[in-house]
Structure 1
């Protein structure tokens, strides 16, 4: 496989379900030394990964189809006026007018025969690429990007409306190569794909209003813009003169103990009378009562819980929810069992362009200050755990000066690469627990298939992690699914229970003597990612969760507003409510997950914009700031010198230098975050990732010192 990193990319990037692929075979002559003076050849594949109306995500994949190695690559294409790239990753993308060029960055320029590499970008406009070239060679056949996406279908109309069904009709979309089918959406969720221009929707609720849109797909699976929205109400509803009840009063707590809270509220009003109340904790309904109080039991001491109440009238209409109240049980939080977790991610691709190896953990002093390592990443393919990078993982030979113990690898030893170096590290630091992490931003697309057969998936992971060649290296498994029943780089529709089912199967296979952990979303917004999967149900099967409390904001929103990418708390002017560490931890605790199962996430990097004039957060920008490996992101070890901190907001540092604006954590902000971590009774902290730290490991030391 390619040595391109399965990146920890923006965690909250919008991703739609639509996927369009244009394959562009091209040939480019590249001078290659050798007796045959052979010519290299390549293909470039364009993928429109998603389209959210105001922008889109695209991807080019370059494949070496020749017999000689490519030492560099450049993809060129044209966009029509009005379509442009706004940010990119895994390539340096530049433009001259409407002509665009993507060139390899340092770590991904070399392509062996048969190897592939991809780079992605966000853009605006609806145009398709044309005139593709790779290394100067023009497109010479196959599907060409002159196939434009279809138009929007006509706004749907409804006929045959009953209590439980209706029929939709719409005017056909147009396309230069023909329409393949239409996706029908109800309330923003796709409910059907049809080849005609009508659809009968059934199983509806009487007297209920529904919203419908339609999207066309052409013969190469490009989707166009959505139709106008139709709002239609089924027949047979309640008497419209019977109004729904008002919102109950904000809940209050009394009789609070370490394990119970009596929740009370002021009664709602209704023109025909209130029938009962639904009480919610952490967004999940826990009781329906006829009175205005309820005693909630089985809680965890010293833990905040979020409650709200909804009234129901005699016609079973529900009203608006009450305001939300946070009520905390009594008691003092117990210290984390087994001491605080201090976990760092080690990336297998870091041994390439970053030149970061296991020995660096020793020379930096970080190995003496951590408790766990997550080795990133293994892949998830075909419903199974698979090797991520065989060369880096267990084949790369280390010289004596590169090796942890100063002993060089031999050509015939059974295990080399990172796994052997980690084995040597454990001999020197036997307290360190190492977990093999699977998935990540790039490789989470396989989890949906894995969730269809959790037992088979768990068996495959166990067989790989416990392979006799390296079974002694690993102490368990970490699943980094971004995100169950939600969208990351791709969208998962496996259902809210899939994550719990997967974790349950993995724990059953790995048993009590192995660690089983997961990296999870930190989306604390109402109805966000933490509300879409059963994280509370999965918690009993995990040793702890690594809550990814970073990448809340970044230059994927190219125009800003500038904001700290890892805010500890909310602040006045924060772009999205609930996008902060405190909101995420509070929501997870409110779902009944104890703090002793939660680790706070720290990024050893910054995110930044350019074209910024305002020094404080909230300013506008023109795009992502330049970075060493990717636009809009830079290691802490670089930023501390090139753009020192000029201020702090919400527990995170920010810096204005020239027209660039960055946010990142420093030893000082980490110290305050670790104090907060202990106050919250969390298990500990983790970070992404080792190579972003200084050569003397000052950020890892700040976590270690702060959790003492």
Structure 2
């Protein structure tokens, strides 16, 4: 965020992938003839024995007798909410071998694919199959691959799909064995409502189930989970099992953990207006004293804490000097006004970065300096938390860093580690927010981490691993829906700034989840509605993409109650959408409070 207004950014650097290009990853082709030695390795691929051998997410699948492609059974699965109705089966295979995956599907946006191949995971899909249509793809296993997962799934909000006569032909491998019980289960980081669990991986496991006091509490793919929704000051017993297509392991040893008693100053709840206060500089909007910030604002971000050099990790915050801001209040008054805002239920954060504050945590030393220097600012001013506003070249992805779930780029990994350290230091009351630009987030739908050649930019989607890693600790994400150019939505159409469709499409992606770079096997998960606010410029002077109050109202109507929508069809409605963010409080006051007055009065319920 700029000292004057947000700069026009560089969406053209992020290669835009069209729907046709997304489909190229899984072309529909005629199935090659299998070698004589090859066999069909799938169990119950025709669904003649119900769902035997198949696991469907969120109870989304069922075996039906009509419509079928052949025989007497077929799969019918229905995507609901943020679930895409994936049904999968893990199959034993041989290393360094060729396989052909084929199946018949019916419906809209139906995918058939294989993951865990050890080479390149593959998928085929159809946009529309009103009658049965065959999908086929091929792959070769890696040198150490002994099993792959075959899956079919639909798309969010598109209705039920059908699948039948799914086959995987190639040389068979050893039978899949039920995994052993996970070992090393430990509990840590207890809050008043959650406990963090970690355990060791079990050989052959494709997923894990967490049990709380004997009842299923969560299903995850990795070796950690945060169990939420717990009561304060209560002891719980946890166990974990490992699962794959052969079944579920015995339960692990029990670990007991107690939640804290709560209290303190919890993060804000309910609908919120978030605004940035020009606290360290002046521009055409004029200086606003902390005591003069209108009561409409629930979260106030002090702009900005900036580094002493781009790679030092040393962050400093200095209130605006008298020479630049003649009306600036004395430091003691500034700190007293912060306390007064907090006493009134407001949260005051330090925002790090902005357009001029390039922060690149390239080393572990810079990471540690970042933690210590940010802590000093928070402690000196008595702040409630931290806002990350890394822009420009602060975050980017190294060539080959293509999985947001396990990043390797140092500036990304070090930022994640630093934020986790700060969260652990200050506990559950710590407010953590992020304000990335759209090409750092939504552009990951089109491009992620393949390198800077061909006009593509390694910054596109670079926030995704940070958001994913901190998703359980993130209070609020407010993507800057401005200075963006046109961005593709989940409807594979481009939407332009300044109208309700743009904000609806961008927000729908965050609340629905989206495949990264067209890879359905790498779908970025949906955020909770209470974690999402819409970022807007307060006025036409504050950035490209200013949106009229009437269009913003249409946006909120559509997202919270599915009314007053435009051409973009959302995948749900979210009454709990957190609210709105703006750059900035100063520009809003300069324009008579149009932003805060309009949206503070919005009828959220």
TM-score normalized by structure 1? 0.41
By relative contact order (CA 8 Å, sep 6+), the higher-ranking structure is 2
Bigger Rg, structure 1 or 2: 1
TM-score normalized by structure 2? 0.47
